[in-house]
A and B are shown apart, each in its own frame.
Chain A
């Protein structure tokens, strides 16, 4: 009788432990270390469009910023015969660290035929205003510091988009366009002087 009781106790303990592990594996991120060796299947990289550009990048802005989002999910409980019915609120939180880059400079494809004039050893050139070419935040630029509840790429997307919008705003506030113009004018002057011009007159057109 004692042996039977011991076996029942042991079986109960095993079942409870297994159930606990199953719940932890399925609904929490406790076993994420087992999921790290993810790999992707080989698929084609399809070139959909090729565009000729003339972007002279002269300034880059770099930023690293922590991002945090909290979402409350409402779960409706039907209960058993109306008993225990109601709403439960589940908090989901994510903390990411995102790195971003903004590239700016002169778009030389906007320079028209008559915008460059040469008189002896003097070169005159009209340039368009400096502009931002890229606001970059790639998947490799994000690290997940904390994740609680249910999150996915689609759910985290608005947070990443907000981060990108902030990155663009911060770059402008930090003076990327002024820096790009100043640095670009210096670089182009140096470049044209290497071709034998003693005087280089560069002007930026007002748009």
Chain B
């Protein structure tokens, strides 16, 4: 009788484990996706190299640990043309004035395959950096490049190139006096 009870418990446990596993596998297969329309004219790409390094020496830790990565990021800038309407264009015979929005960062790409661990060292009393910590360090590197965008000159280059592209295109359309302006920055 006792053995029978034990058998039932074992079967129940096995079933529970099986359903638990399949639920986990199912969760792994799931993905969320969507598609959206866009209207962005990217006119410049910057390739930026950065050394991302951490010296993790906390007040509560015994010994330190260091890690150094070499990473590459690709930044693309240009203008968003979502809100570009007829009122942004003024035509007077062969003269045309176009008002465009200011350039902004359109794409930031820091691929994992172009990020390398150059050096890692940790003391006897410390554990190595986990994948989560290493990703967090790279995230900080990414944030640092993003914050530096206004100083890199990419936005100025993007606006210059947008202006060149529109001028060439409008020239081909037959316009002679072409003025490209950028919207005034709202204060």
Contacts and interface: CB of A to CB of B under 8 A. Distances in A.
Contact of A161 (B86, B107, B113): B113
Contact of A152 (B29, B117, B142): B117
Contact of A147 (B33, B130, B140): B130
B143 interface: yes
A29 B56 CA distance: 16
Given A53-B76, A136-B108, A195 B44 contact: no
Q: Could you say which interface size class chain B belongs to?
A: 35 or more
Interface in B105-159: 106-113, 115-117, 120, 125-145, 148, 152-153, 157
A51 B157 CA distance: 10
Given A54-B43, A151-B130, A153-B115, A65 B31 contact: yes
B127 A195 contact: no
Interface in A92-133: 94-95, 103, 105, 108, 113, 116, 118, 123, 133
Interface stretch (A6-14, A37-45, A72-80): A37-45
Contacts of A155: 131
B170 to A, nearest CB: 7
B30 interface: yes
Interface of B: 27-56, 58, 60-61, 69, 72, 74, 76, 78, 81, 84-86, 88-89, 91, 96, 106-113, 115-117, 120, 125-145, 148, 152-153, 157, 161, 165, 169-170, 172-175
Q: Could you say which interface size class chain A belongs to?
A: 35 or more
Interface of A: 22, 25-27, 29, 32, 34-68, 94-95, 103, 105, 108, 113, 116, 118, 123, 133-134, 136-140, 142, 144, 147, 150-157, 160-161, 164, 170, 174-176, 179, 183, 187, 191-192, 194-197
By secondary structure, the B interface counts as mixed
The 5 closest A-B pairs by CB, nearest first: A151-B131, A144-B132, A139-B138, A49-B47, A65-B31
A196 B44 contact: no
A160 B137 CA distance: 16
Given A139-B141, A153-B112, A183-B37, 18 more contacts: A34-B58, A38-B140, A54-B42, A57-B39, A62-B33, A63-B33, A136-B108, A136-B109, A138-B110, A139-B115, A144-B131, A150-B128, A152-B128, A153-B117, A153-B135, A154-B117, A183-B38, A194-B88
